[in-house]
Structure 1
Amino acid sequence: MNLPLSLEFFPPKTTEGVAKLAAVRAQLYALSPEYCSVTFGAGGSTQDGTLDAVRAILAEGVAGVPHLSCIGQTRASIAERLRVYRDAGVRRIVALRGDLPSGYGMGGEFRYASDLVAFIRAETGTHFTLAVAAYPEMHPQARSPQDDMNAFVAKVQAGADVAITQYFFNADAYFRFVDELRQRGIDVPVVPGIMPITNATQMLRFSDNCGAEVPRWVRTRLQGFGDDTASIKDFGADVVAGLCQRLRDGGAPGFHFYTLNQAMATLQVCRRMGWAGSAADERR
């Protein structure tokens, strides 16, 4: 039996990008996603694009889920955004602290994601299912694993329903994180975030910046492929499918795929797992 899948996109900035993303979604709908989420740029810089993409997803008969970050925002601006989402038919939100654009300086009336979760609950009750971020390998800005765990628990206590993790390649880190939560009496579902591997250089650089550990054997194999894109993608699909298999066997409640607005890599992983897709789908 397949576990629930969800897909994440970022809002396109051009008319061509909008059309391309619509085609990508059409391919990925073969996976029957539970919902599709759309990111929210630093300081809300893409909020109109986020709303447009969510509305397009809803019009396609799939649950559209906006990300909502609170850094740099006021209570009034968040309340207005919640009203717009509610009127659009949104029933889920990914609630995040977020980052400010470079040079923006500090500002806004929220400091932590837990503040945002509490505000949404106070404003809208239980209308929205609220997802928050989790970091099995610790948030890169956290002072210690204990502080990071305390911050996550605060989000749950404020009213979060479910967590989606930062992507990782170390299943043990995920299982340890969940075990520690259960020991503290926190029983919300923790959905693994899955990053398909399409571009080795980009993925390794991003992983180094965000604190996601790439096992040495994976890193060296990827670097050894050089510019052999086909081999990188094939090897990457094997690695990520193996990770998903171990997570599924260990009791993960579902998977959230960071698609990077591409279809093929996610379809390759899911096909290896026997979920959906075909060789023809992957070549589109």
Structure 2
Amino acid sequence: MKIKELFEKKEKTFSFEIFPPKTPEGDIKLIHETLKELSLLKPDFVSCTYGAVGGNKDKTLALVEHIQKAYDIPSMAHLTCISHTKDEIHEIVKKIKAKGIQNILALRGDPPRDNPDMVPGIDNYKHSSELITFLRQEYKEDFCLGVAGFPEMHPLSPTRESDIKYLKHKIDCGADFIITQLFFDNQIYFDYVKSVKSAGIIKRIIPGILPITSYDGLIKFCKTCGATVPEKVHKIFAPIKDNPEQIVKAGIEFAINQCKELLSNGAPGIHFYSLNKVQPLKDIINSVR
């Protein structure tokens, strides 16, 4: 099923993102334990990244295909473009279609880890809008296309206005909905939605939420993706950063409060960055659904 078809049936959706593990042992745990437990939460859809270190496109497609067949849950494959040539993208998309995958999160992506200074050339799609244009031209409506939105602005955008302008371009090229980058201050999301709608974008904007399970890990991750860690988060989690149990408990409570406020003020659902963890999601979803 295409995710946009879910939107016609449900005012609010609950979904989560997983990633391919880096080890065979991790693969086994994810497939035989984690996915089974996560499926019991009855997500409306699942997305799958290229993995924690990037580039695991074959594992991504295999996982998405498995989730659809084993659990009958609509699933979405992440597809990044700048680290692949156009010919490679064409072949990947052929595989996606052959596996019966109908949903793609179209992303620019980061340069390969072994070539961080790579500059996309004539043989690459330089922006996700170019990838979306290709998919619509070659595959018409075969795929439902999601894109990323950045409530705090994409790190490469010079201004907030240009960031919104580029988002509208992605929508105009054929994207169907938006999932935001993580944030911890809901006002950032509300202001973002207002700006996006003022620009004439009427597509669904699903907030992306990361349950906090490690304070140090959170600080490190947010530095790499450009997300702000507000003072209220530091006040809650810094004093307990060396107590994993308290961190998880506080993280669940923080996420529940954040999600409830979002949903009660018009957010069309929640997309959880699960980090392949079950328990935080279980407690959070059961509380906010």
> How does the TM-score come out when normalised to structure 2?
0.90
Please give the alpha-carbon distance, in whole angstroms, between the structure 2 residues aligned to 1:54 and 1:138. Answer: 29
Q: After the TM superposition, which segments of 4 or more aligned residues of structure 1 sit over 3 Å from their partners?
A: 41-44
Distance 2:18 2:90 in 1: 24
Shift of 1:48: 1.1
Give the structure 2 partner of residue 12 of structure 1.
21
- Tell me, what secondary structure is at the counterpart of 1:5? strand
- Computed over aligned residues only, the root mean square deviation of the Cα atoms, in angstroms, reads 1.8
Q: Which stretches in structure 1 are left out of the alignment for 5+ residues?
A: 276-284
Q: CA deviation at 1:171?
A: 0.9
Equivalent pairs counted in the alignment come to: 274
For the 8 Å contact 1:13–1:49, the answer to whether it is kept is no
Aligned to 2:205: 190
- The correspondence for 2:101, drawn from 80, 87, 90, is 90
Deviation at 1:8?
0.6
Q: Is the Cα–Cα contact under 8 Å of residues 43 and 70 in structure 1 kept in the other structure?
A: no
Check the 8 A contact 2:213/2:251 in 1, yes or no. Answer: yes
Selected match of 1:149 from 164, 179, 185 = 164
Pairing partner for 1:64 from 67, 75, 94:
75
Deviation, 1:64, is 2.4
Structure 2 distance, partners of 1:42, 1:111, is 22
Structure 2, gaps ≥5 residues long? 1-9
Tell whether the 8 Å contact from 2:38 to 2:278 is kept in structure 1 after alignment.
yes
Determine the C-alpha separation between the residues in 2 that align with 1:244 and 1:190. Answer: 14
Aligned with 2:119 (options 87, 98, 106): 106
Q: Aligned residue for 1:49? A: 59
Quick one: structure 1 residues 235 and 74, their matched pair in 2 at CA, closer, same or farther if it must change by over 3 Å? same
- Cα distance in 2 for partners of 1:221, 1:247 equals 20
Which aligned pairs between 1:216-231 and structure 2 lie closer than 5 A?
216-231=231-246
- Percent identity between the aligned chains? 35
Measured in 2, the distance between the counterparts of 1:149 and 1:239 equals 28
SS at match of 2:179: strand
Amino acid at match of 1:245: K
Contact 2:79 2:107 in 1 (8 A): yes
For residue 119 of structure 1, the aligned residue among 134, 138, 141 is 134
Compute the TM-score of the two structures, normalised by the length of structure 1. 0.91
Contact 2:252 2:284 in 1 (8 A): yes
| Cα contact 2:151–2:192 (8 A) shared by 1 | yes
- The alpha-carbon deviation at position 121 of structure 1 amounts to 0.5
The reply to whether residue 254 of structure 1 matches residue 269 of structure 2 is yes
One-letter code aligned to 1:30: L
State the distance in 1 between where 2:131 and 2:52 align: 15
2:30 aligned with 1:21: yes
* Contact 2:13–2:270 (8 Å) recurs in 1: yes
Secondary structure in 2 aligned to 1:149? helix
Return the letter of the residue paired with 1:78: I
2:93 is the counterpart of 1:78:
no
Q: Is 1:132 aligned to 2:147, yes or no?
A: yes
The Cα shift of 1:20 comes to: 1.1
Distance 1:138 1:58 in 2: 33
How far is 1:30 from its partner?
2.0
From 247, 250, 253, the counterpart of 1:238 = 253
SS in 2 for 1:31: coil
For 2:91 and 2:113, the matched residues in 1 are separated by: 25
Mapped partners of 1:43, 1:130: distance in 2? 23
C-alpha separation in 1, matches of 2:210 and 2:51: 19
Cα displacement string for residues 170-229 of structure 1 (whole angstroms, at most 9, x for unaligned residues): 111111111112112110000000101111110122112222122202112211013111
Work out whether residues 71 and 100 of structure 1, in 8 Å CA contact, stay in contact via their aligned partners in 2.
yes
* Alpha-carbon offset, residue 110 of structure 1: 1.0
What is the CA distance between 1:272 and its match in structure 2? 2.8
Q: Return the offset for 1:94.
A: 0.4
CA distance in 2, matches of 1:44, 1:238: 31
Residue 19 and residue 102 in structure 1: after superposition, are their counterparts in 2 closer, same or farther (change >3 A)?
closer
Paired residues of 2:45 and 2:76 also in contact (CA < 8 A) = yes
Change (3 A) 1:2 1:24: farther
